[in-house]
Structure 1
Amino acid sequence: MSEQTIKQLDVSIMGREFRVACPVEEEATLLQAVQLLDQRMHDIRNAGKVIGIEKIAIMAALNLTHEYLHTRVGDGFDIGTIQRRIGDMNSTIDAVLAEQQQLF
């Protein structure tokens, strides 16, 4: 099993500084995520419809999550639908296993 090297990064989102930890090999992706989130939050603030940093953060998170759940890969694989189906299957499996444990 390989050891992952964790790096501490200082990032800025909406002018606020945060220190986050991430594996070294994921630094570039994390920085892209920070940039995307910061841009979305600035867009929401500049639109003037949402006031307050916490509300802006929640709206940005909801918008990004909504987009993520509607992302299609390749020839129409809908990630959101697949994840929901997997979640439903996990719930069904958990319920069946709980019934089985009651037998013993």
Structure 2
Amino acid sequence: MSDTTQVNVRILEKEYQFACREEERVALLQAADYLDRLMREIRASGRVVGLDRIAVMAALNMANDLLHQQGNENALAESALERVRKLHQRLDSVTGKPE
């Protein structure tokens, strides 16, 4: 693992150390910053108490966002595919090719 680097991140005043490839370092730091901000927002709301519960709530929020985004991407892909099919049918009708 000679191409790995140690990265220190701070999440809710707690220090964590990770090993990652150098090309993943920036993404890891961005992810840790995002998680820290989300967990701070949850803690500041006052509705969730305890680090474990805050972490689980943050994970659920991120999973929900990811699933929502994937659903949007799937809907866009389906829409684009349907448009391509319709264009293909129109081209076939103009060129006289059977469907």
TM-score (norm 1): 0.66
CA RMSD of aligned residues (A): 2.1
What CA deviation, in whole Å up to 9, does each residue of 1:37-58 have, x standing for no partner? 0000000000000000010000
| Partner of residue 53, structure 2 | 55
Could you say which structure has the larger radius of gyration? 2
Q: Which has the higher contact order (CA 8 A, sep 6+)?
A: 2
Structure 1 residues 77 and 50, CA, compared in 2 at 3 Å: closer, same or farther? farther
TM-score (norm 2): 0.69
Hey, which of these two has a bigger chunk of helix by percent?
2
* Secondary structure, aligned partner of 2:47: coil
Tell me how many residue pairs correspond in the alignment. 76
Give runs of aligned pairs for residues 24-103 of structure 1, distance below 5 A: 24-71=22-69, 72-73=72-73, 76-77=76-77
Structure 1 residues 58 and 25, CA, compared in 2 at 3 Å: closer, same or farther? same
* Secondary structure, aligned partner of 1:50: coil
Give yes or no for the alignment of 1:5 onto 2:3. yes
What CA deviation, in whole Å up to 9, does each residue of 1:23-75 have, x standing for no partner? 10011111110000000000000000000001000000110011011113397
Identity of aligned residues (%): 38
* Secondary structure, aligned partner of 1:76: helix
Unaligned segments of structure 1, at least 5 residues: 79-104
Distance 2:67 2:42 in 1: 20
Unaligned segments of structure 2, at least 5 residues: 79-99
